[in-house]
């Protein structure tokens, strides 16, 4: 028995949306570490290909594909490319997301619709693509929600609502698809050192809250005393994709350094 066949995701093909950078790239790294193969889906196909090269220098265990999670047809094209390369998919991570900071009274209908389209509808469309890609033989889906979907932070009403929808959708999908051997869970990160967290600090700085670098440095969970790293979220996601997590179903697990107690 070689080392790979002992690994939790031995040779399983796992699709990760929003995989070009940040948490998505951390999830790809953890999937490879666990012996899996990764399909990197992102709006930015060049950045996804660059991340694939960084994590898998000979390209034998990764495939980077352009995809927009708000567009069914683009997800189907990505799945077709993945199946041609790796065969049936056995795991899917709905990670792609966006944030648009605005006070509640200033959120436009268009901004609300865009945030919900990517963060919530994108998770439904991604999960449906996964359902088809599992080809009736089961698999595991992990949705990247947020502690914002439980707690709710100021100037993020649309984001908060979009992530609450993901948490609830996770429960529905877990119940409806249990009979098809599909396990569905969500992870709720917080304070992860990524470009998105910099975007939040920059937006707060623009609204007069202080210096962007100082704001970013201050966004650390009190119990942990530092930012959470993308690979740390990735390893939790890789566990939830594995058979060892089979008794964890429909859950939304906090991974925010202890900030959210429920």
Ligand X SMILES: NC(=O)c1ccc[n+]([C@@H]2O[C@H](COP(=O)([O-])OP(=O)(O)OC[C@H]3O[C@@H](n4cnc5c(N)ncnc54)[C@H](O)[C@@H]3O)[C@@H](O)[C@H]2O)c1
Active site members: 159
| Using rule CB under 6 A, residue 127 touches ligand X | no
Interface with ligand X by CB under 6 A: which range of 7-15, 22-30, 83-91, 174-182? Answer: 22-30
- Which of 28, 49, 67, 237 is in the footprint of ligand X by CB under 6 A? 67
Of 3-11, 20-28, 177-185, 206-214, which segment contacts ligand X by CB under 6 A? 20-28
Nearest distance, CB of residue 97 and ligand X, angstroms: 2
The residue among 91 and 189 lying less far from ligand X, judged by its C-beta, is 189
3-state SS string over the chain?
CCHHHHCCCCCCEEEEECCCCHHHHHHHHHHHHCCCEEEEEECCHHHHHHHHHHHCCCCCCEEEEECCCCCHHHHHHHHHHHHHHHCCCCEEEECCCCCCCECHHHCCHHHHHHHHHHHHHHHHHHHHHHHHHCCCCCEEEEEECCHHHCCCCCCEHHHHHHHHHHHHHHHHHHHHHHHHCEEEEEEEECCECCHHHHHHHHHHHHCCCCCHHHHHHHCCCCCCCCCECHHHHHHHHHHHHCHHHCCCCCCEEEECCCCCCC
Helix axes 22-33, 230-241, angle to 10 degrees: 50
Residue 183 half-sphere exposure toward CB, CA atoms < 13 A: 18
Query: Which residue, 22 or 36, has its beta carbon nearer to ligand X?
Result: 22
Q: Binder to ligand X among 16, 40, 144, 203 (CB under 6 A)?
A: 144
Q: Is 17 in the site for ligand X (CB under 6 A)?
A: yes
Q: CA 252, CA 256: separation in Å to the nearest integer?
A: 12
Among 9, 13, 23, 39, binds ligand X (CB under 6 A): 23
By CB under 6 A, the residues from 77 to 96 that bind ligand X are 95-96
* Size of interface with ligand X, in residues (CB under 6 A): 30
Q: Which is nearer to ligand X, 34 or 93 (CB)?
A: 93
Q: Contact between 149 and ligand X (CB under 6 A)? A: no
Task: Give me the 200-229 binding string for ligand X, x by CB under 6 A, dash otherwise.
Answer: ------------------------------
Q: 161 to 180, contacts with ligand X by CB under 6 A?
A: none
- Judged by beta carbon, residue 35 or residue 140, the one nearer ligand X is 140
Q: Which residues bind ligand X (CB under 6 A)?
A: 17-18, 20-24, 42-44, 67-70, 95-98, 118, 122, 144, 146, 189-192, 194-197
């Amino acid at each position: 028995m070689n080392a790979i066949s002992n690994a939790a995701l031995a040779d399983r093909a796992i699709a990760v949306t929003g995989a070009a950078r940040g948490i998505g790239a951390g999830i790809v790294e953890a999937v490879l570490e666990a012996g899996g193969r990764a399909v990197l889906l992102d709006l930015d196909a060049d950045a996804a290909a660059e991340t694939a090269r960084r994590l898998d220098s000979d390209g034998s265990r990764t495939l980077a594909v352009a995809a927009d999670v708000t567009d069914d047809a683009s997800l189907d094209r990505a799945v077709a490319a993945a199946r041609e390369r790796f065969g049936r998919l056995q795991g899917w991570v709905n990670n792609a997301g966006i944030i648009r900071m605005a006070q509640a009274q200033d959120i436009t209908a268009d901004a609300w619709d865009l945030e919900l389209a990517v963060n919530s509808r994108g998770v439904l469309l991604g999960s449906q693509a996964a359902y088809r890609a599992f080809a009736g033989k089961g698999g595991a889906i992990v949705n990247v929600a947020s502690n914002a979907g439980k707690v709710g932070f100021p100037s993020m009403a649309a984001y908060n609502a979009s992530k609450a929808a993901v948490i609830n959708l996770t429960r529905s999908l877990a119940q409806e698809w249990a009979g098809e051997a599909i396990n569905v869970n969500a992870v709720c990160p917080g304070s992860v050192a990524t470009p998105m967290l910099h975007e939040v600090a920059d937006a707060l700085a623009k609204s007069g809250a202080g210096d962007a670098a100082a704001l970013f440095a201050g966004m650390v969970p009190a119990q942990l005393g530092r930012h959470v790293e993308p690979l740390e979220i990735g390893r939790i996601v890789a566990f939830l994709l594995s058979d060892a997590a089979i008794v964890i179903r429909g859950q939304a697990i906090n991974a925010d350094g202890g900030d959210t107690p429920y």
